[in-house]
Chains A and B, each alone.
Chain A
């Protein structure tokens, strides 16, 4: 056991018994959960709530709802390595099975919000930067695949992408995503927001490459000429 959240439950379960612990929950899986919201909510934060609380309650009652002038567009229900769900799932029950049925995961339970004024490409780029940088460097798909993904996203975001770049991103998602391709779960986690984002925000990607300036290259010497 190496998860502090799990660990911190132990003394309470020992003190109060399993019945008590199960009774805390709003669903079949017992206990409470540390839920969180980040992004353009009024009061981003971490909240301990019965497991199985809905995102509606977490976002609107605990985090005070979206900031004024922003609408929820999509969200990662359980942190950076879970797949995007659209705003239509805004009231989803945050237990284990429901997000999975919807195509994502409960993950850490710390939802990340995408609002209607933030570029989804920028958000994914930011996530992939994190994953590329946090790769331990052991296995190839993660160590060398993710930095490429990040650079493709930068190019598209900065208006220098090409339709082939989107193809490359789909390739990476397809080839790195499934479990077993890499040594640990870091890289599949990195692919979850990318793969779902490519689908959900396909139009944004198309729009960015269609208005990009073809022929420009990355800063530095290498680029297309090499």
Chain B
């Protein structure tokens, strides 16, 4: 810390930040554009000008850019100096010379950083009286709109898209006041992080395209803190709603998790909550058609069929912990399934037990960014956990920063750091059977089949600690790689190991755990992370239960209750049919119509994650709460409420209704010790800030009664729920000190855009003032004695006449719920089978997956070895997702048929 003087006031400032940050942290309103808390400074916009004085006697001073000025002990500055103020006002006036001032029709309006900064500088009257230049806009695909005339050339978009996220198809073209930010031609933005442009761009150039179709001003929407459930990473989000419809998803800052950015699956994957595929009433299914029935009738019917006899409950890794627990309680632990089939069921359990017993700590994504020696072993993280992949990309920055340290350049001095770092090698190693997006950043990208990747992992562990088992018969290249990677991990201060379940290989997880143990045995404190399949996979593994396979053999004549789970994605058609046909009854609780729901007898419509509250446990072992933003009309309600109602109807009196979510959470925490800390994941529903409950709308929200005036002009009481601490209206408290888990939107006086986040943080880029988000339930065991898995798999051997078919994970296409959102479905490329070896253009293959035959377009992939092919899980056969040997029957281009698709 250093003492500096800002406008005559002495303040303590951090010395590793620039003066702009110091001013903002000191509570000053200093406008800026090109600086971004996560992207650093480049000094382009010249908006953050302040006066710097050489010493106390210097009365004239000189103008400097705060974002380019380091904080040094005793430095004297003025933000309010008239000359600095005049300059800042003039910068906005210059920016405005070509700006269209179309705020009334601009979708940034009301949350526009340019509006805020313009007001802040006091620029009010336009003196520029000449023509404005105009640009052509581009069509950028289903996610992002482009309105280039509003551009103020702050360069943030390209710095995020290219420098931070590694995208290549967005750039800056031309020169002088004609600089153009876009693609070389219209076309879908390729980066899976493109949606962040919407928040990174301080103007209305890049806006949210799906949101645009049901646009509303920020101030007119309700917000609620939520957690993304489109993968297991658990990014924190804010969901916006108006008039009962979910409008959009925004990033919610969690310093340890997603920080400033989301992936596009998370940002644009919510649309299914408004889709026609939603279940909105209880129903009977007769001959595959769902007939709506009153909820009470459905409950009565359930009461009849379930009053006696065995109940079997199938939970779900995409449902909340609370709903899963309620079902488990209703049916009894011995009749409860995690909802996962083999091999996923066992692998998730294995992953969780390895994490819980390892001497390594589970890495947060923020920790991953600064690892100085990382190994990704047998997982295409860029597709299975896109946000984690973005964090891993920042590892190259660790190398840049080392070079910068040598040149005594501060880390926030972005352009210089990048220049200094351009020849550095990033301490990242990728071992994967297929090419991954991270390869380009890696020091070494090694192609290896899952078995061989695992063997390499074992070999690395052995080279770190010789008491770990080695893999036998390694090739020379493998031996060299193993030694090189072992050395790099041993040399690292923050070694990081990442693997996952994509290739359904226990050996990969065990090899990773062996490396972690070996590093710990050598006195290192390794970080580890396993990518899990779904939003609550971790929660279900901790809760425990039978696998679906076990259920298939045990549930004959039972009443099956399926919670928010489409079993057709998990069981092949034969077993799916067997399970349903053998059961006495099938009852489905879900928010969407699925192939499982249409086989049920009775269906109950459960509330989606935007309409209810609950807890998910991310792959990091972090319990996080999502809160409802929509107050759904009856009969929609949380699945756990349905389960309580069903228990009542069936006279199963051991399940008493819970009055509110907190009661249920408290019960789980008491009954199941692993979940003892879940009440800490977020404040309870009786939370108040200075004695007043929180609000979820802005003070400016308009049309509270007018919006339904065509129906009735009566003032109806606002909706309420006993489960959420957020009031549904604009009445209530709101402050920068509110818990990070409960922030419904970011806004402070003068700062209406998401940039107001600065004020909610203890220090910029640091912790939230109102405290952490979520609570970690799984920690390794520091100082655990090294215990090594000894089963080293044998090397992959190709088979004559058969192909090893590997699952090709995709950001868009292989995830269940997000594919029910139109923008994601539009973005998903059609399924193809990639084949190692020559394939004539336009060929198709016939392949048998789980006993069914499919015809799929085939392409040659020269990066795959002969005898290996890939196929996206769930996109061809609904249930296929794990590697296996297949026969591929090629058909020539001339014999093409319409391809089949499961989605």
Contact = CB atoms under 8 A, between A and B. Distances in A.
Interface of A: 132-141, 143-145, 147-148, 151, 155, 164, 168, 171, 175, 178, 180-183, 217-224, 226
B44 A139 contact: yes
Contacts of B153: 137, 140, 143-144
A180 B87 CA distance: 12
Contacts of B44: 138-140, 183
Interface centre among A143, A151, A221 (most CB of B within 10 A): A143
B131 A218 contact: yes
A137 B175 contact: yes
A141 B176 contact: no
A141 B93 CA distance: 10
Contacts of A178: 62-63
Nearest to A217: B129
Q: Which 9 A-B pairs have the closest CB atoms?
A: A144-B94, A137-B179, A220-B131, A135-B176, A222-B131, A151-B130, A224-B129, A137-B175, A218-B130
Nearest to B178: A137
15 contacts: A137-B153, A138-B155, A140-B152, A141-B90, A141-B91, A143-B176, A144-B153, A148-B130, A151-B130, A171-B90, A175-B87, A178-B63, A180-B64, A180-B65, A183-B43
Chain B binding surface, main DSSP class: loop
Contact of B128 (A133, A138, A141, A148): A148
B775 interface: no
Given A135-B175, A140-B95, A141-B46, A180 B63 contact: yes
Contacts of A136: 175-176
Contacts of A168: 127
Contact of B97 (A144, A183, A224): A144
B9 interface: no
B47 A140 contact: yes
B98 interface: yes
Contact of A141 (B94, B129, B132): B94
A56 B86 CA distance: 43
A137 B303 CA distance: 72
Contact of B62 (A141, A180, A183, A220): A180
Contacts, number: 95
A136 B87 CA distance: 21
Contacts of B712: none
Contact of B87 (A151, A181, A218): A181
Interface string B156-199: 00000000000000001011111100000000000000000000
A10 B875 CA distance: 68
B45 interface: yes
Contacts of B43: 139, 183
Contacts of A151: 130
Contacts of B45: 139-140
Given A145-B94, A181-B87, A137 B177 contact: yes
A143 B132 CA distance: 13
A139 B49 CA distance: 13
Interface string B21-48: 0000000000000000000000111110
Contacts of B64: 180
B77 to A, nearest CB: 14
Contact of A222 (B46, B62, B130, B155): B130
Given A138-B44, A183-B43, A223 B131 contact: yes
Contacts of A135: 175-177
A220 B131 CA distance: 7
A142 to B, nearest CB: 8
A223 B49 CA distance: 30
B751 to A, nearest CB: 21
Interface centre among B43, B128, B174, B178 (most CB of A within 10 A): B128
B421 to A, nearest CB: 20
Given A139-B43, A180-B64, A181-B46, A223 B129 contact: yes
Interface centre among B44, B90, B129 (most CB of A within 10 A): B129
B115 to A, nearest CB: 17
Interface centre among A137, A140, A164, A218 (most CB of B within 10 A): A140
A132 B46 contact: no
Interface centre among A144, A145, A180, A217 (most CB of B within 10 A): A144
Nearest to B152: A140
A171 B178 CA distance: 23
A137 B174 contact: yes
Contact of B46 (A133, A139, A224, A226): A139
Nearest to B180: A137
Contacts of A137: 153, 172, 174-179
Nearest to A220: B131
A221 B132 CA distance: 9
B321 to A, nearest CB: 51
